[in-house]
Amino acid sequence: MTGDKSRLAVWGLRVSVLGLVILALGILGHRFGVIDFRPALLGLAGGAAIGLIGAVVSAVALIISIMSSRSGVRTAIAGLVIGLLVAAPVGQAMIAGSKVPGIHDITTDLDNPPAFDAVVAERGTTSNPLDRAEPADLAELQAQAYPDLTTLEIDMQPGKVYEAALETAREMGWEIVASNPAEGMIEATATTRVMNFKDDVAIRVTERGDGAAVDMRSVSRVGISDMGANANRIRTYLHALKVKLGAAG
**Residue 133 or 96, more confident:** 133
Contacts of 129 (CB under 8 A, 6+ apart): none
Each domain of the chain, given as residue ranges in start order, spans 2-98, 105-244
Per residue in 65-107, pLDDT (tens digit) is: 888 877 789 999 999 999 999 999 999 888 888 899 999 999 9
Percentage of the chain exceeding pLDDT 70? 96
**Least confident window among 3-17, 117-131, 188-202, 222-236:** 3-17
**Residue 26 or 6, more confident:** 26
User: pTM for the full model?
Assistant: 0.84
- Fold assignment, 105-244: Alpha-D-Glucose-1,6-Bisphosphate; Chain A, domain 4 (3.30.530)
Predicted confidence band of residue 169 (pLDDT cuts 50, 70, 90)? very high
Per residue in 183-218, pLDDT (tens digit) is: 999 999 999 888 888 999 999 999 999 999 999 999
3 has a pLDDT exceeding 70: no
176 has a pLDDT exceeding 90: yes
Percentage of the chain exceeding pLDDT 90? 81
4 has a pLDDT exceeding 60: no
